Amino acid sequence: MSEVVLNIEGVDPLDLYGENNAKLNVIKRTYQDVQITSRGSIIKLKGNKQSVETVKDKLEMMVRMVKSKPGFTVHDVEDLISDMEGSEDKIQHHSSHGVIVYGKNGAPIKAKTKNQKLLVECSEQNDIVFAIGPAGTGKTYTAVALAIRALKSRLVKKIILTRPAIEAGEHLGFLPGDMKEKVDPYLRPLYDALDDMLPMEKLNFFITNRVIEVAPLAFMRGRTLDHAFIILDEAQNCTSTQLKMFLTRIGPSAKAIITGDLSQIDLPGHQKSGLRKALEILAPVDGIGQLYLSSEDVVRHRLVKEIIKSYDMAEEEEQAEKLRQREIKEAELQKAKLIEQGIIPPDL
C-alpha cells in the first residue's frame, strides 16, 4: 500500500474538483482501487503504489490544465483519462501502435492499414501533407483523427475543415435556407468523421465557439490560418488558382493535410484539376510530404476494393487502346508522307 498527499495551492479547488465534485468523481470512478479524499487544497491518495502514482500524475496534469485553460470541463477530464492528453510521449507511443486518438466512449481510432500508418508518420514529420488515394481508403477519416489528436494535445488551438462545394456529377439546383444550410450538404463527410470522434455536446460546443470550423473553400480567401490544423478535402476538385490560394493561407504555426482522389474529378466543363500540378511542382519542397494510398487500403465494404480494382483495370485498358490507336494513326501519317515523297510506292 502507498499513501501520497498532494497540495494544490495556486488553483481554485472548485475549478479543479468541479461543481459537486463532478470532475474529481470522474477520477474516482475510473480508479476505484485508489481511495481519494479531498479537503480544501489537500488531496490524499491511498492504495496500490502503481495506481496511486497514476492518479497522482492525472491530478497534477489536471492542475496544469486548470491553470492554462479557462473553462476546463468534465469532458476534458474524460479526455485526460482516455486519451492521456497532455503527454506527448504517450501520444507518440499510442500512435506507433496504431491508435491515433480515442473517440466516443473511449473507442480507439486506429490507423488500420500500412499506408494509413505511413500517413500518420508523414503528418508528424511534415507541416503540409498531400494524401492521395481512391474512395474508402480512410484519407479524410485519418486526417480528422490527427487533427482531433493535435487539438486535444494542445499542439493547435483550432481545427479548420474545408472542401470545394462541387456537386458529384449532379446539378442539385437551388438549395433553400441560410448560408450554413446551403453548404452543409457538401461538408457532410467531414461532420460524419467528427461525429465518430467527439460527443455531440462537445462537438456542438467546439463548433459554436469556432474551435472547430467547417466551411467551403471559398471562405478561406483573404485569411491567415495559424495555430490550426487544417484539412482540405476533395482537393481534386480545386482549380490550380484555388489550391494556390489555399496553400498560401497557411500560417507559420499551422499544419495541413490535403486529401484527394485524381480518379474522381467533378470540375465542370473542361477545367483542369489543380491537384496534379501541385503534386508535381511541390514534390521537391522540404516540409511538404506526399502519401499515396491504393485499393489495398480500402476499409469499407470488401467489394469496394474489387470495384476500385475493376475500374482501374478498365481505365488501363482504355489508355492502352488509345495509345494503340494513336500509334496506328501516326504510322498511317508517316506512310502517307513517304508515299508523297516518292520513297515508297502507293500500293505497298
- Indicate the number of domains in the chain: 3
Structural domain boundaries, residue 233: 88-300
Q: What is the mean pLDDT of residues 214-223?
A: 83
241 lies in the same domain as 314: no
Determine the straight-line distance between the first and last CA of the chain, rounded to whole angstroms: 101
Give the CATH number of the domain where residue 63 resides: 3.30.1370.10
112 lies in the same domain as 167: yes
49 lies in the same domain as 127: no
Q: What is the pLDDT of residues 124-134, one digit of tens each?
A: 899 999 999 98
Q: Tell me the β-bridge partners of 347.
A: none
Lowest mean pLDDT segment, chosen from 79-83, 140-144, 265-269:
79-83
Do 103 and 198 form a contact (C-beta atoms < 8 A)?
yes
27 lies in the same domain as 161: no
Residue 177's pLDDT band, with cuts at 50, 70 and 90, is low
Single out the residue in 55, 83, 111 at which a domain terminates. Answer: 83
Q: What is the mean pLDDT of residues 212-230?
A: 87
141 lies in the same domain as 281: yes
Identify which has the larger pLDDT, 170 or 32.
32
119 lies in the same domain as 190: yes
Residue 92's pLDDT is 41
104 lies in the same domain as 140: yes
Give the CATH number of the domain where residue 155 resides: 3.40.50.300
Residue 301's pLDDT is 59
Residue 93's pLDDT band, with cuts at 50, 70 and 90, is very low
Q: What is the mean pLDDT of residues 251-264?
A: 91
pTM of the model: 0.61
Q: What is the pLDDT of residues 52-91, one digit of tens each?
A: 888 888 888 888 878 766 667 777 787 777 654 344 444 4
Residue 291's pLDDT is 93
Residue 257's pLDDT is 96
Residue 302's pLDDT is 64
16 lies in the same domain as 111: no
Q: Is the pLDDT of residue 147 over 90?
A: yes
100 lies in the same domain as 120: yes
Single out the residue in 83, 100, 130 at which a domain terminates. Answer: 83
Contacts of 151 (CB under 8 A, 6+ apart): 157, 158, 159, 211, 212, 229
157 lies in the same domain as 285: yes
337 lies in the same domain as 292: no
74 lies in the same domain as 92: no
